Structure 1
Amino acid sequence: MLLDLARSSFLRLRHPAAAFMSAADNTAMQLLSASDLPATIQSWALSAHVQTPSSSNNDTILPLTKLRTQHLGRHILYGETLPSTQTLLQKVSLELRLTDVQRDFRLVCWTPSQQGGKGRGSNTWVSPQGCLTFSFQSSLTNGASLPFAQYLVSLALVRTIKLFAAASTPTNVYIKWPNDLYANNLKLGGILCQSEYFQERFHVTTGVGINVSNPEPTVCLNQLLPSPVTKETFLVEFCNVYEPMEEQFKTHGFAPFVDEYTANWLHTNQVVQVQGDTPGEPPMKATIQGLTASGCLLATSESGRSYELYPDGNSFDFFAGLLKRKL
């Protein structure tokens, strides 16, 4: 077994240094040598020149004493600067799956400075220091549940934000279908879910980017909250919120969350223009009704025609009120 899941561990990444770390009591950090790792990861770690990092700032990496999860967040891939948390986590997780040590090994990868963030399609960007950027792993057995994965993460982020808000302070944070968070009509964050099928399971890598403390150029979380929150504290609280939601999701599907999800999105009874499939065909006016049982966005035209729009096959220009096929 790679690591005791009752402990918390760090794979601390630098350029060019890297090291796996483990915490027996959530505070004292001890280095695990490359020889403690599976053979395929040993070669990867050795090629990265494994060194012992300073343990003086581990509490600033994550406030582990506040982590209440069984698995999620107990194993961390951390780099002060990384090209992409999504790409790195996918590569490391593939190695772990090939060594058959992935069971319940809920890796989280995060960095204060991401230089090549991944978005839908081929979108990339550089994340400013005030943005929380992280990726995490899930595994699902039911392929029909995959479209709902990003919806569940969106709702978990909203729940987490509300925990930091005072009861009397509305956050005005809403979900924009299929994978964005908006506040005051400005983008606050986004979600990317990518899946791979391996050994009868769908391994989902979810990337999250949320603006915590940059007031420009859009809006940040700390402008919406009564007192500021750190990126580290928000990430830990997200793990606490999300893990039990995912367990319920695996057992009961998205049905227990649908009402809360649509209560926190921007689209109830929104009138939109749905672009047709035929070139030159004028868009049809339709009203958004909700989500279908398969995870599609459901809209109905004035003539009664229903449109079911898959999140991966359509784009939504919310402010123009236009739904169109992705090219």
Structure 2
Amino acid sequence: MLKREITDLGYEITQVEDGRVTFEGDAEAICRANVGLRTAERVLMQVGRFKAETFDELFENTKALEWENLIPKNGKFWVTKANSVNSKLFSSSDIQSIVKKAIVERLKLKYKTDWFEETGSEYPIRINIVKDEVLVALDTTGNSLHKRGYRPVAGAAPISESLAAALIMLTPWNKDRILVDPFCGSGTFPIEAAMMAASIAPGMNRTFTAMKWDNIIPPAEWDAVIEEAKDMVNLDIDVDIQGYDIDDEVLKVARMNAARFGVDKLIHFQKRDVRELSHPKKYGFIITNPPYGERLEEKSALPPIYEAFGRQFAKLDTWSAYMITSYEDAEKIFWQKS
């Protein structure tokens, strides 16, 4: 899904790995990716890739990168996260410490100083090592991209916004078709669908770390991308998106969340038990994250819920249903003959 999104933005993909898609782009691409990508968690700017099996190799290769072109003399920089998989270097704290030291040594030579105040903009660094290949990157995003800004309050065990968007995109649903979430909780599926239908960019109303990197990205680039995103919004559309839940309080939260992103007029939230799931029209879609019972006592309540869900869906003979759940008996109970 992420690969498709990047291609749709018009950028050339150079590599696809587990959990990462690499593409080439300029400063504007960083802005457009942060503002426009629905299924990504963050946008990283690659500084370098190299092989390192020892801490000496990690230090020297990191030091060889041209950090002075990225981090100004007063920039605040640190290694916010270091991951290692199937590699000789595996201590996250040691990797973080050595990378920071290498960058300091490089910048001391370039800026001819022994002290950095780090009072300027933030330049968080991420290190990922897989099979001894090191990826060094600057985090342009900051708070993860799934934090759109519409859900400061969430119901119990909410699904992340980026995952919800990806799941919707995995289905053939489009804005001309009915969409119902019978377990809508704080409204994530209906809200993400409404945003897609109205062409609302997910990052349009939030800030990003790289917005303060005026040495790399001119502020005018951000302004132009956000203005472009605003121009694309179309709330004057006829859609049928519905969210049901049995909890009045969680429905209030869902309505507030939808209102924060201006899509409340596009979604009909209603208190309704899954045993009352029905719709007079044909060829609709159910996309949902039903309860899955994290504790043993909760699991005993699940069979009747999934039985009712399956029974009501069977009456919607032209509809499609998509669910994500960790309840291992979900499929068996959902499809059992009643």
Category of TM-score, reference length = shorter chain: under 0.3
TM-score for both structures, normalised by structure 1? 0.24
Larger radius of gyration: 2
TM-score for both structures, normalised by structure 2? 0.24
- The structure with the largest strand share of the pair is 1
